[in-house]
Homo-oligomer: A and B are copies of this chain.
């Protein structure tokens, strides 16, 4: 087993992008997808080893990254638990960490070290064909280190994501799920509700849209099945954010009704200042 080796379980858009970035960063890459290796053939993943069975991947990978949908984590965790060796480090890239930890920590914890991670980059596209070697350039990876028993495991995971061009930030499992409710799940719902609302209110208007509307709603093209799973697995935190956001809408509606230019501009000033803090 090489020190710089990584096995990726589940080669969709995210798993495939990890594979492409890891190859470029000089890792020995092993790929396993329970749906079969059809989409992994050809030139796309040249340099990686596509293995026919999970056991082959485990045998050769120092670091194992589970990149399957949240709903499939338990099954993968159960299968992995039979195979992992002491000293192996497992990570996952699930969008919500409480259910990932529930599915994986117990079954994996005794035999290996589990360090959840989440690279904050994505695309509205899905499948191995949509994988991109530059997807993670400049992104932030959230890493939860509270479950790891060995600091070396955290270091291995941190080095991996750093080698892939991301900046690692440590957060707790609970904090992770609050952050993604705010930064990813609420925005996804808003984009989806907005484009659906426009379609219902004035379907022809969609043909007239400019770049602002296009950008604002891009993520609404994401996989409905995947996103239903994500949103429901973080339902409490997302519901709380929706509740807060409804109040913000109510406040804005009140300012418009009163034609309150001063406070409306103060609101837009706050928003601009917040948005301008985000690096381009």
Residues of A that sit less than 8 Å from B by CB: 120-122, 139-140, 142, 169, 178-179, 182-184, 186-199, 201-202, 205-225, 227-228, 231-232, 235, 238-239, 241-246, 248-250, 252-253, 256-257, 259, 261, 264-265, 267-272, 274-278
Contact = CB atoms under 8 A, between A and B. Distances in A.
A216 B219 contact: yes
A206 B271 contact: no
23 contacts: A142-B208, A179-B202, A183-B198, A183-B210, A183-B213, A187-B213, A188-B212, A189-B249, A190-B190, A191-B271, A192-B275, A193-B252, A213-B278, A214-B278, A215-B215, A215-B218, A216-B216, A220-B274, A220-B275, A225-B265, A232-B256, A235-B256, A246-B249
Contact of A232 (B207, B232, B264): B264
A249 to B, nearest CB: 5
Nearest to A262: B228
Contacts of A121: 210-211
Given A196-B270, A231-B264, A232-B261, 18 more contacts: A120-B208, A140-B210, A182-B197, A182-B201, A183-B198, A184-B210, A184-B213, A191-B275, A192-B271, A193-B267, A195-B275, A199-B270, A201-B244, A217-B278, A220-B268, A235-B257, A243-B253, A246-B250
Contacts of A259: 232, 235
Contacts of A206: 274, 277-278
Taken together, the copies of this chain in the complex come to 2
Given A202-B179, A219-B212, A232-B256, A193 B242 contact: no
